């Protein structure tokens, strides 16, 4: 699937998108305690799930077909949002159309879960348009990653609904990814301890591909928040700014030069988003080039920004823009063990 930056290059000459909607008169989430978590009902084979496109368009209709076929192969019945194949500039329909698809899926009593088709960009434009009362009244599984970070965290902070940072419908559901998707969404058992793929699964003498790095050791407990670093930074100063107080912050990114990663982590620090944390987990910065001239390594940047916070900090957990990914419940309490490289959950993510 085409990447966010590749899409930008292809559409560099496209006309300007419609003007952004005026900000809603919403209370800043960051100054109020987070609501009590509301776990959605678990999914089961035979359930109907919906596919929506809150962000970028898809160029090839086959991408939509593959996404639908994957979910059907798990055993779900699948309905597509009315605008899943739509095009408005570089978005999958206008802001109003994309928001309407989300509303329709939450309002439909037959739909038990909602998958994002893909990421890209554009999801933050929908946040002022969403009916959070409707979502609160019809809690159900909502899952995606990358640009969907904005939607996952805004919905949780406004409604209490536990959302899921995990594969989009169009993600290649390799066995490890599918196993953890089922574990999070289809099982009523406690999630337990989540860890990276083992070296045996990777056919490596020692762990190389999925290797964790302890930035600062120790254990911490807090609710999970965050996701994609670019989106977490982009929400700063908005009514949907992520509340990090007492939380375990998830961060990851893709195709960002390291000076940009440095700049965004600096923004979070200066915006007082890192100081109140209970712990922090950086996943992967996939295909993040060093750039020209003198540079830090990613490891050096993470040590500098996260290793000195005085809280447990871990890098390399299997989430983000990678081939094998965990499904992580945003808003649910977890225990981070930065020495072992794990997250532990005492309860199921669904009811």
Q: How far apart are CA 255 and CA 130, in angstroms?
A: 29
3 part of the active site: no
Q: Which of 165, 180, 321, 344 is catalytic?
A: 321
252 part of the active site: yes
Q: Which of 56, 156, 252, 305 is catalytic?
A: 252
Main-chain dihedrals φ then ψ at residue 112, nearest 5 degrees:
-100, -20
By three-state DSSP, how is residue 137 classified? helix
By three-state DSSP, how is residue 342 classified? strand
Q: Which of 56, 146, 165, 333 is catalytic?
A: 146
Q: Is 231 exposed, middle or buried (0-12, 13-18, 19+ CB in 10 A)?
A: buried
56 part of the active site: no
User: What DSSP element (H or E) covers 232?
Assistant: helix 229-234
User: Which of 157, 155, 37 is closest to 105 using CA atoms?
Assistant: 155
3-state SS, 162-194, equals CEEECCCCCCCCCHHHHHHHHHHHCCCCCCEEE
Q: Which residues carry out catalysis?
A: 146, 252, 321
């Amino acid at each position: 699937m085409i990447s966010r930056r590749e899409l930008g290059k292809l559409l560099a000459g496209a006309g300007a998108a419609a003007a952004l909607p005026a900000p809603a008169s919403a209370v800043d989430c960051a100054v109020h305690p987070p609501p009590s978590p509301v776990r959605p009902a678990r999914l089961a084979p035979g359930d109907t799930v919906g596919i929506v496109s809150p962000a970028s368009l898809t160029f090839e209709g086959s991408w939509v077909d593959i996404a639908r076929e994957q979910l059907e192969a798990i055993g779900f019945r699948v309905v597509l949002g009315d605008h899943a194949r739509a095009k408005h500039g570089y978005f999958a329909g206008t802001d109003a159309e994309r928001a309407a698809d989300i509303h329709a899926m939450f309002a439909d009593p037959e739909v038990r879960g909602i998958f994002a088709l893909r990421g890209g960009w554009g999801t933050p434009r929908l946040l002022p348009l969403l009916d959070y009362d409707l979502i609160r009244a019809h809690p159900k599984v909502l899952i995606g990653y990358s640009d969907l970070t904005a939607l996952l965290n805004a919905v949780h902070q406004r409604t209490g609904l536990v959302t899921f940072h995990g594969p989009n419908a169009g993600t290649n559901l390799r066995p490890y990814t599918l196993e953890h998707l089922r574990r999070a969404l289809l099982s009523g058992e406690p999630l337990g301890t989540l860890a990276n793929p083992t070296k045996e699964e990777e056919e490596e003498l020692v762990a190389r591909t999925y290797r964790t790095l302890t930035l600062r050791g120790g254990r911490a407990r807090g609710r999970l928040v965050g996701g994609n670093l670019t989106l977490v930074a982009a929400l700063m100063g908005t009514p949907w700014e992520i509340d990090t107080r007492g939380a375990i912050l998830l961060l990851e990114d893709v195709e960002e030069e390291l000076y940009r990663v440095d700049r965004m982590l600096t923004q979070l620090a200066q915006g007082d988003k890192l100081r109140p944390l209970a712990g922090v987990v950086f996943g992967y910065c996939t295909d993040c080039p060093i750039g020209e001239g003198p540079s830090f390594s990613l490891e050096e940047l993470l040590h500098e920004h996260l290793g000195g916070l005085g809280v447990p900090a871990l890098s390399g957990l299997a989430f983000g823009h990678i081939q094998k990914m965990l499904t992580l419940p945003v808003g649910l309490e977890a225990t981070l063990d930065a020495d072992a490289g794990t997250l532990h959950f005492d309860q199921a993510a669904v009811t």
